Amino acid sequence: MSQPDYTITQLISAKSIAARIEELAQEIQEQFKGTDKLIVVGLLRGSFVFIADLVRELNLPVEVDFLEASSYGDGTESSKEVRILKDLRGEISGRDVLVVEDIVDTGFTLSHVVNLLSTRNPKNIKTIALLDKPSRREVEIKATWTGFEIPDEFVVGYGIDYAQRNRNLPFIGCVEFNTKS
């Protein structure tokens, strides 16, 4: 098996992520207290680790559903064309909805998903992103809650991948591509 042509440097530790998720869960519980059921919509694939840890911290009745949207493929730059690869299984009409995103970069994916889900008449729709790169924003959107604001670095770990690798890292790491001389 060949070695990858990049190195990874830790940016955010697993311990910092866990602590921040506890804080976010408290804020979300306050926002949605009294809900009969919160529909937590994870954007696949990058949010699956985040959503699992987040819902375990929520002391609310929750239903988890997933939507898969893609604007990257195997590249490191957004194509700006958002495709829905897997839609929700359940109904969200009249329900409280929390959209869980791994990272808001250009904003195209989150904006597209929020607009799409808004047409389905949810009672309330809020968003949460583990990571935010505001310096890369091309579409005006901001998550209701954000775990960490990060610099314009290509990151992996904690569910986030590069060409389907490194999702299993327990931390967020910056990718540095090796240049051949």
Which residue carries 């910056």 as its tokens?
A: 174
CATH annotation of 15-150: 3.40.50.2020
* 96 alpha carbon, distance to own chain's centre: 18
Per-domain boundaries in the chain: 15-150
pLDDT of residue 89: 94
Residue 153 backbone dihedrals phi, psi, to 5 degrees: -125, 150
DSSP reduced 3-state for 128: strand
Q: What is the pLDDT along the chain (181 residues), one digit of tens a residue?
A: 555 689 999 999 999 999 999 999 999 999 999 999 999 999 998 999 999 999 999 999 999 999 998 765 555 555 567 888 999 999 999 999 999 999 999 999 999 999 999 999 999 999 999 999 999 999 999 999 999 999 999 999 999 998 889 999 999 999 999 876 5
**Beta-carbon contacts of residue 93 (< 8 Å; ≥ 6 apart):** 120, 121, 122
Decide: helix, strand or coil at residue 31. Answer: helix
Assess whether 105 carries a catalytic annotation: yes
Parallel/antiparallel/unpaired status of strands 83-86 and 62-70: antiparallel
Strands (E) across 13-166 are located at 38-44, 62-70, 83-86, 96-104, 124-132, 145-149, 155-156
Would you state the structure tokens that stand for residue 77, as one six-digit string?
A: 């730059």
* Marked catalytic residue, from 65, 105, 152, 161: 105
**What is the rounded radius of gyration, in angstroms, for the C-alpha atoms of the chain?**
16
Alpha-carbon span 77 to 62, nearest angstrom: 33
Helical ranges in 32-170 per DSSP H: 48-57, 108-118
